[in-house]
Amino acid sequence: MTENSFPLIGDNLPEMKVQTTMGEKNLPVDYKGKWIVLFSHPADFTPVCTTEFYSFAKKKEEFDKINTELLGLSMDQVFSHIKWAEWIKDNLDQEINFPIIADHGQIATKLGMLHPSKGTNTVRAVFIIDPKGIIRLIMYYPQEIGRNVDEIIRSIKALQYADKHNVAMPENWPNHPLLKDKVIVPPAKDVQTAEKRKEEYKDSCYDWWLCYKDME
C-alpha cells in the first residue's frame, strides 16, 4: 500500500483494533484462517441499510459453510448499532448475528470508504479478505443502491475454487450462458504451451487462449 492511499486488491488488510457490538476485535489477526467480508453502510436506522443487514444476517449460515465471517461498519456509535440491531430483531424477526464496527472515521478513511461526492457517510464498500489477511476483491456501491448478497457469496466461492484448482472463472459462474459451470484454463504464457493447448483440450477450446474444463 502506497503512502496516503487506501489498500488495493493484493494488499494486506491494515492491522486495526476495532470496537464492535460483540466486543473489541483485532483485524485481521482475530480472523486468521477465515475469509472475511468487511462491509460498510452509510448509517444505522436507514431503509436501504436495514434491507442489507436483514439479508446478510438471513444468509449467515451460507457464509459459515464457506468459512467466511461478516463484519459490518459505519460511523455510528456502538450503542446506535446495538439499538438498531434490536429494532431489526423486534420488527423484522431477524437477529443480527455478526459484529458491527463502531468507527469514528479513522477506519473509513484508511479503507477508502469516504467519497467526497457522497457526503460524510461511508459509501457501501465491500472488502473480501482471504485467510492470510490479503484483500482479494473490492466493491463500491453508492448510498442509494443496495448490494446483492448472493453476488458476494458467489464471488467468495469463485475465489476459493480458483485458488484451489488454479483456474479462472467465467462471468456469472457457475451459470454462464455459454460455459455453464465449466471453468477456464489459464491462457498459455509461451509459444510451446500455446501450440499444445488446442490438442490437450481439443474438445473444449475455442482457441488456444480460451480453453475450458469441467469442475473437479
Question: What amino acid occupies position 43?
Answer: A
Q: How many residues does the chain have?
A: 216
Q: How far apart are CA 114 and CA 178, in angstroms?
A: 39
Contact indicator for 130, 35 with CB cutoff of 8 Å: yes
Q: How far apart are CA 199 and CA 189, in angstroms?
A: 16
For 184, residues 6+ apart whose C-beta sits below 8 A from its C-beta are 167, 168, 169, 170, 210, 211, 212
Q: Which of 13, 37, 49, 149 is catalytic?
A: 49
Q: What are the φ and ψ backbone dihedral angles of 15, each rounded to 5 degrees? A: -70, 130
49 assigned to active site: yes
Cell, residue 80: 446506535
Q: How far apart are CA 146 and CA 173, in angstroms?
A: 22
Query: Which burial class, exposed, middle or buried, applies to 144 when counting CB atoms under 10 A from its CB (0-12, 13-18, 19+)?
Result: exposed
Q: What are the φ and ψ backbone dihedral angles of 39, each rounded to 5 degrees? A: -135, 140
SS3 state of residue 98: coil
Active site residues: 49
